[in-house]
Structure 1
């Protein structure tokens, strides 16, 4: 049997796509492990990449775009569009038999593949550039991936069905691109019909099955093969052939490759030139804004906000997205930022305690795994780095259940923040814990040695995330013994660390108590106790507190100090939005901080009563200081 072959252009484009899609697939699956309901992907942890997955994913996406452009140009220039032509004749084949039906199914599968790939590229672009970040676009991207995988399986099966192993192996056997047949004019058509009618009937093999064109084989090849089988000696065409440009035809793949490279280069150049940036305008020190969460300060007037859409976070009314606006000014010594973002609820309930008949219980949904996503306070974080390649944490976040070899696995099954060298500056504001006016100053650095509690999986290992040296003014109001309730929401406590001096006063400070984590707190409510309005735990004091009492899980006392106290802040919630004002020196002269200057890159993230499930954006924001 004659070995079937495929034109070299199709082979190159085919295997380039396969390689790029394989990279996009494995990196995409690794990225998807950060989605809470997809931790089952960690079963394939051994074969998924660990480093720079976002960067590799984006690079693979660029190659896929280039292949798509090249394929379209190649099909047009080479005249092989009949491979995937879905006309009326081929559609009728769906209701036919044998090879006619198979050919129609293959063509239809190709168009489903084209539409799905278009959806993947468009949804990926929307997520990357921040045009849309909702769960529906992410879900479209996710479903499209599995449609492509299903297509791959069906593609191999239908190719084998259409021609056996020879049909499958042809993608490994390159051949020159055949010149497309000349178009028939009326005179040539009449001549061919007359020639066929004059041919003896014995020359026709009526028992041979009809040969149906296949998407992977151009009809010109089939006509050439049929002609060579019927008559070994070549015959001149019945009529004059229309002239074609032989140079363009011979270089169809070169033209396609040039178009693909040009298209990919334009995308990369556009991405580099259209950098998202925040302008930090200079003001007089006398015009510096007051840190009170009020957005009407004179300093913010006339400052054009930078706006971006962040997504794929937890909660936020089930959408997982929040639009964030950034304004910034400086007075030569301090930089001032105003961050505003959407959040329909003012969530202050951070791990509250409820007294029941058998003792105190902690309300939670994942605290012991380091992934509390119900009873947590609203938060906001800022990351500063000198690296512009930090795509969605490409250099500071490492996905997977055990990113650090030799260190404890993550209890949540999700990844860790750390850097290979140096530090990334991290500020974190907390709606309850930060009520005293500080934004916790922390950093991502090289992986830390696990503590004995972390090594024993009693508390989660945090990789390279740690607060800057110094002290904070908040702490948890409990110690956990073990989960003895059997339910996911409550954990048995040894005891609270502190109890209210006056239960009625603490209860009144909590406002309208609603323990539904999706409901916000009433105006004026505060869900913390201070050292002044509480006393250390004792059994006598505990005995006087009635069953059903709710007390805060946060104690405020003391002051922030050291490097940890470099960032001051104040926030206010109103009408479904948080407004957070922040102040920090342009240069703190700390090894754990990044100076605020032109060329530094920023990332921001919002948390809706969630510990680690924050929103994110892929592209970094470049700071430009006036």
Structure 2
């Protein structure tokens, strides 16, 4: 009572009993005090979420570093080859990324719902503790390292999603640098636990204990409102009020699943679709590398940024645009991609005083990136899991008991006998009739002597049939040179059609240049004919057959720093090595810039939708 009037402020004895409970240090989930000699423990939710985060990060790290090994800017990572995985890399990397996203979101919810935020609060008091030394310093530094790690993981998720949805070589580089930062923060986090309390303190993550939720701090406004209700509205005493409250770990799990589902749903909702417009047969475009035909105006163009490729002006990336038509019997594609140079040389032969040599930047001819033509590849596959990277196996020797690839970067092959259709257009193998190599990825082949003498290609092979072209090499000499298969009938005429000749990879070959010869242009090799050819002569390294193209036909044209390629094939060929083209088929694209094997790539396939 004050001046005969009752005050609204409650007496201390009237406060609810829960507000008299002492506040417990939030990290003390096991019941021991800060100075207790008992072994340190962590609550079960923190333990479980730590292990989910750790597992997802380890899988993402291992698969991500293996993928990065193939990046032209990060080749030094090949030193990790013996310890990195090689199977289903992209699929596992994406699954780990989704798990990491869900676990990180769940961890944030768990910390808040379990009222554990004080133990990781980074405030001024903790920052000042860094300068005081002792255990307080290590604890404060541990909080700093933890926040840097959490921010790094969030950045990994954001940059990874950007790579998946948009692509780009810059984002790829940022993603890799953030990976190193996360790894450094994780190691620092563990080291600071050791510095703070030794091995026993660091091992508390392996000793789960029940979660004890600290009471919330008293709220004066709520207490006043409660006392006012008691004074103005008398009611019968209650024996207790039941409160429905989910366990923080259950809430965190629900949030984690929701975020993972959102990530998967976003991928499905934004999956790129390539509409294949129906046209009449008499409207079919002429295949000549020129898309000015009226039919192409009906097609809708879609595009994708491809990365981790060859040169492309030093960017290692190029954007590919694609259109598609069909007339009920055949399908027609138009591909356009940026390439600063027209590259037509395919390892030509050079006459030296010691004999003929192959023009190459490396002696093993395994992964040429200078004296090579531009190329373009199309991969068609039926839908299935895993969708991404199932036929790509990056490792020096991905198949036990079989040789590695000649480049040492990996092999293409499928598992379980599946067939993936591959078309490969090559600028100097097109010939006069629009030849496109009709290939496939299948199961790993058993290496024979011919493969071992050349290079083992895993499950990559040309479809059965007569090859429309041959390398102009009949054998090797004792001095390390080569014997040409055929020699030009007219050396001067051959030199004219090859146009300007240069060793520079960043300079284009002449327009309408021809770096291949036909059977009619040449004669079989003979020492007598060879003796008439002067030293310094350069001849093409490709012999084209005088035959019409078979199933896949294509013509390309380069102008103004861009290739335009038109390709056509029957929708259904009946061949077991071809994929029937229909709605739902998945398509990936790859461009090569004067490179034998290094090509650009993208993760998300186009899904064909035929009208």
Q: What residue in structure 1 maps to residue 114 of structure 2?
A: 78
The Cα of 1:479 is off from its aligned counterpart by 4.5
1:292 paired with 2:280, answer: no
Equivalent residue runs for 1:340-351 within 5 Å: 340-351=336-347
Query: Does residue 546 in structure 1 map to residue 581 in structure 2?
Result: no
1:164 aligned onto 2:198: yes
Tell me how far apart the structure 2 counterparts of residues 274 and 37 of structure 1 sit (CA, whole Å): 30
Report how far residue 39 of structure 1 moved: 5.9
Moved more, 178-187 or 431-440: 178-187
- The structure-2 alpha-carbon separation of the partners of 1:585 and 1:174, relative to structure 1 and needing over 3 Å to count, comes to same
Q: Distance in 1 between matches of 2:477 and 2:141?
A: 58
Q: Which moved more, 1:522-531 or 1:589-598?
A: 522-531
TM-score, reference length from structure 1:
0.83
Residue pair 1:531, 1:557 contacting (<8 A) in 2 also? yes
**1:448 alignment counterpart:** 445
Q: 2:515 aligns with which of 527, 531, 537?
A: 527
1:123 aligns with 2:159: yes
CA, structure 1 residues 587+315, in 2 after alignment: closer, same or farther (shift >3 Å)?
same
> Counterpart in 2 of 1:133?
168
Q: Does 1:578 align with 2:563?
A: yes
Q: How far does residue 140 in structure 1 lie from its aligned partner after superposition?
A: 2.1
Deviation at 1:296, TM superposition (A): 0.6
How far apart in 2 are the matches of 1:387 and 1:482?
Answer: 48
1:461 aligns with 2:456: yes
Do the aligned partners of 1:42 and 1:413 also contact (CA within 8 Å) in 2?
Answer: no
Q: Within the alignment, does 1:418 sit opposite 2:452 as a pair? A: no
Measure the CA separation in 1 of the matches of 2:448 and 2:200. 60
For 1:255-296, what per-residue CA distance to the aligned partner results, in whole angstroms no more than 9, with x for missing partners? Answer: 221111111111112212332111111111111100111111
Q: Which residue matches 1:53?
A: 89
3-state DSSP class of the match of 1:429?
A: strand
Cα deviation, residue 411, structure 1: 2.8
Q: CA deviation at 1:334?
A: 0.9
Does 2:543 correspond to 1:567? no
Q: How does 1:4-23 map to 2 (within 5 A)?
A: 4-23=40-59
Aligned equivalent of 1:311: 307
**Cα–Cα, structure 1 residues 479 and 372, in superposed 2: closer, same or farther, change >3 Å?**
farther
- Do the aligned partners of residues 353 and 71 (structure 1) sit closer, same or farther apart at CA in structure 2, a change above 3 Å counting? same
Contact 1:27-1:57 within 8 A present in 2 as well: yes
**Distance change >3 Å, CA 279–CA 482, structure 1 → 2:** farther
Which residue of the partner structure matches residue 492 of structure 2?
A: 504
Which string of whole-angstrom CA distances, capped at 9 and with x for unpartnered residues, describes residues 523-581 of structure 1? 222212222222222333333333322222112232257xxx20111111111111111
Q: Per the alignment, do residues 179 and 246 of structure 1 end up closer, same or farther by CA in structure 2, a change over 3 Å counting? A: farther
Is contact 1:388-1:620 (8 Å) kept? no
Q: 8 Å contact 1:369–1:460 — kept in the other structure?
A: no
Tell me which residue corresponds to 2:594: 609
Q: CA deviation at 1:372?
A: 1.7
> Aligned to 2:580, which of 586, 595, 600?
595
Structure 1 residue 358, shift from structure 2 partner = 2.3
Distance in 2 of aligned mates of 1:150 and 1:376: 41
* Secondary structure of residue in 2 paired with 1:478: coil
CA distances 1:380-431 after superposition (whole Å, capped 9, x unpaired): 111111134354432x222222223322222322221112213111111000
- For this pair of structures, how many residues does the alignment match? 555
**Partner Cα distance (2:151, 2:575) in 1:** 52
Query: 1:189-338 residue pairs with structure 2 within 5 A?
Result: 247-248=244-245, 251-338=247-334
Partner Cα distance (1:424, 1:182) in 2: 60
TM-score normalised to structure 2 length = 0.85
How far off its partner does 1:480 sit? Answer: 5.7
Change (3 A) 1:46 1:117: same
- The 8 Å contact of residues 72 and 309 in structure 2, kept in 1 or not, is answered as no
Could you report, residue by residue, the CA deviation over 1:164-212 in whole angstroms, capped at 9, with x for unpaired residues? 122112112223333335436799xxxxxxxxxxxxxxxxxxxxxxxxx
What SS class does the counterpart of residue 158 from structure 2 fall into? helix
Shift of 1:352: 1.7
Identify the residue that residue 240 of structure 1 maps to in structure 2: none
SS at match of 2:38: coil
* Of 533-542 and 8-17, the range deviating more from structure 2: 533-542
Other structure's SS at 1:499 match: strand
> Which residue, out of 114, 120, 129, partners 2:150?
114
Instruction: Report the CA distance between 1:359 and its aligned residue.
Output: 2.3
Cα 1:14/1:504, change in 2 over 3 Å: same
Name the counterpart of 2:67: 31
Change (3 A) 1:128 1:186: closer
Contact 2:369/2:595 (CA < 8 Å) preserved in 1?
yes
1:362-377 equivalent positions in 2, closer than 5 A: 362-366=358-362, 368=364, 370-377=366-373
Between the aligned partners of 2:535 and 2:152, the Cα distance in structure 1 is: 58
Cα distance change on mapping 1:168 and 1:606 into 2, 3 Å = same
SS in 1 for 2:298: coil
Q: Cα 1:55–1:367, aligned 2, differ >3 Å: closer, same or farther?
A: farther
Structure 1 position 590, deviation (Å): 0.9
For 1:408, the equivalent position in structure 2 comes to 403
State the Cα distance separating 1:132 from its structure 2 match.
Answer: 2.4
CA distance, structure 2, for counterparts of residue 519 and residue 12 of structure 1: 58
Q: Is the 1:390–1:620 Cα contact (8 Å) retained in structure 2?
A: no
CA distance in 1, matches of 2:572, 2:102: 43
Q: For residues 246 and 165 of structure 1, do their structure 2 counterparts lie closer, same or farther at Cα, with a shift above 3 Å needed? A: farther
Say if 1:435 and 1:570, in contact at 8 Å, map to a contact too. no
- Give the aligned partner of residue 216 of structure 1: none
CA displacement at 1:328 relative to structure 2? 0.7
Output the CA distance in 2 between the equivalents of 1:150 and 1:297: 56
Change (3 A) 1:367 1:342: farther
Following the alignment from structure 1 to structure 2, what is the Cα–Cα distance between the partners of residues 246 and 159?
A: 37
**Residue-by-residue CA offset, 1:324-370 (whole Å, 9 max, x unaligned):** 11111111111111111111111101102222332222121347353
| Secondary structure of residue in 2 paired with 1:583 | strand
